[in-house]
Structures are given as C-alpha cells and as structure tokens.
Amino acid sequence: MTEQRVADPGPLGLAGFAMTTFCLSSANANIWHGGGVAAALALAMFYGGLAQLLAGMWEFVRKNTFAAVAFTSYGAFWLAFYALVKFNLGAGTDTVAIFLLGWTIFTLYMTVAASRVSMAVLTVFVLLSLTFLLLTIGNWGAGHTSMVHAGGWVGLATAVAAWYASAAGVINETHGRMVLPTGPRG
C-alpha cells in the first residue's frame, strides 16, 4: 500500500453532504416549517458547498475518480442550490423540477458506480436517488406536496446514511482498525 500525500477527504465530504441534506430534508418533510431551509442555505454555501468541493479536489489528488466526481459535483449542487433559492431564479416555473431531474439522472449513474465502493456508500446513493426522484416529481407542474414530504423523509434517511459513512471513515482511520463496518463491495 502506498502512503497518501493527503488525509482521506471522504469523511469531510460525506459530513458536509449529510448535514446540509439533513437541514433541507427536515424542511421538505415539513418538520420545522421552513426553519431547515435557512439552515440549509447557510450550510449550502460553506459546508455542503465549499467543503465538499474541496474534498472533491483532494480526491483528485488521491486519484479516486468516483469520490472526486461525487464530492465536486455535489459541492457544486449545493452552491447552485444556494444561488437558485437566494436569487429566486426559479420563481413560477419548472426550474426546480428540471434542476432536480438533472441531479436525479446524475445520481442514478453514480449509484451504479457506487455499487463497487462499499455498502455504506451504495446505501447513500440508493437513498439519494430516491430522494431526488421524489423531489423531482413533487416539484413538477403545480407541485405535489405529499411527494416533496416523502422526498424529505427519504432525504433524512440519506443524511443518516451519509453521516454513518463519514463516521466510519473517521473512527476507523483514527482507531487504525474496523470499528464501524462499511461492507466492502468490489
């Protein structure tokens, strides 16, 4: 095994994704009646956006194509989401649904690739695919509140799965042994 020049950025990227997803999904599930959106926007700019984007760049250095593309892309997703909401770019149109449809397609093919990473990462991507699909349907046309709420609940499960994968990366590395299993695949 060759020694890496940088620490594993995966747990950082997963944590940024998890926390931002948790906040937005809590709003989509209608748990805190919109409070999650403000928290998600703040996180989307920095933790979900910038920190994940940086994790993606570090994954390029580590020559991990899957993680580099995933973290860079989802970091950009959160930055774009921030712009879409903050600058009201999708008012009165299907802009949000089209935006989410693109991310659904991307996430579906990343799920195929995730099947060779670990069960923990595959779980995140399967749940995220379902989340995006439900939110896309929920935001199409006049909007379908029940689908958005369902997408919010699946999004919360996605956040929990991403936090688990992040925790496993940090805890296993820190302890120098497998403490939290991730179920290796490929």
Nearest-angstrom CA–CA distance, 30 and 79 = 23
Question: Cβ(118)–Cβ(182) under 8 Å?
Answer: yes
pLDDT tens-digit profile of 126-148? Answer: 999 999 999 999 999 877 899 99
- At residue 92, does pLDDT exceed 70? no
* Per-residue model confidence (pLDDT) at position 185: 67
* Per-residue model confidence (pLDDT) at position 174: 94
- At residue 32, does pLDDT exceed 90? no
* Per-residue model confidence (pLDDT) at position 141: 82
The mean pLDDT value of the chain amounts to: 93
- At residue 70, does pLDDT exceed 60? yes
Nearest-angstrom CA–CA distance, 143 and 147 = 9
- At residue 1, does pLDDT exceed 70? no
Q: Where are the domains of the chain?
A: 10-164
> Exposure pattern of 68-96 as b/e (b: 16+ CB <10 Å)?
bbbbbbbbebbbbbbeebeeeeeeeeeeb
184 φ/ψ angles, rounded to the nearest 5 degrees: -50, 145
* Per-residue model confidence (pLDDT) at position 10: 96
- At residue 34, does pLDDT exceed 70? no
* Per-residue model confidence (pLDDT) at position 2: 59
Work out whether the CA dihedral 114, 2, 47, 50 comes out positive or negative.
negative
